[in-house]
Amino acid sequence: MVEKHRSLTLPAALGAALLLSGCPSPGTRPSSTPTPGAIPGQAAPPPAPVPAPAPPPAAHRPQSPPRESHLSPATRSLVTQAHALLAHGDIEGASSTLDRALRIEPSNPLIWSELGRVRLAENDSHQAEVCARKALALASGDRAAQTEAGRLLIDALRAQGRNQEAHEIEGRVLMQ
């Protein structure tokens, strides 16, 4: 049994094809209002980019959280090893182990503070002071590292007999 299909007439088929293609159907006209600055027969220019909003004033900007210094797994292992060496009285071994840690992370204030403590154990308060000042310079924005480096500096200055200077720094460190 053959079913009869309704066939579309040619004009109806063309109208359907035009509709599906997005073209205006016959008998309709495109808008007669030209786009400002458009040239007839050419595509419209892309819209101008919208400028990004201005950042909020400084008083309303969210402040970034304080920075915290961390030890990488490699340097953490070396610092732990240095502590064990110190506990067994091997100051020279602890010193060389911390020197290796500094070769891995030369701008880590925590390692500089650790090395300064070893220098104090070696009775080299001048080198301990150098390490403390280096740690302080690298610890900007990290309160805990600044406090640790400040305490090291106080101890190094006291070991040199510079008690007045140590007292002044102690006031600043405790005020943080």
Q: Which residue ranges make up each domain of the chain?
A: 73-175
**pLDDT value at position 27?**
52
Q: In this predicted model, which residue has the larger pLDDT, 67 or 127?
A: 127
pTM over 0.95: no
- The span from the CA of 135 to the CA of 137, in Å, is 5
Task: Catalogue the long-range contacts made by 94-97 (C-beta closer than 8 Å, 24 or more residues apart).
Answer: 94/118, 94/121, 95/119, 95/122
Q: Over 90: is that where the pLDDT of 113 sits?
A: yes
- The span from the CA of 128 to the CA of 119, in Å, is 5
Q: How many Cβ atoms sit within 10 Å of the Cβ of residue 153?
A: 25
CATH code: domain 73-175 is 1.25.40.10
Q: How many Cβ atoms sit within 10 Å of the Cβ of residue 104?
A: 13
Q: Over 50: is that where the pLDDT of 14 sits?
A: no
Question: 22-33 pLDDT, tens per residue?
Answer: 545 455 555 555
Identity of the residue numbered 31: S
Identity of the residue numbered 90: D
**pLDDT value at position 18?**
47
- Residues 142-154, mean pLDDT to the nearest whole number: 94
Q: Over 90: is that where the pLDDT of 147 sits?
A: yes
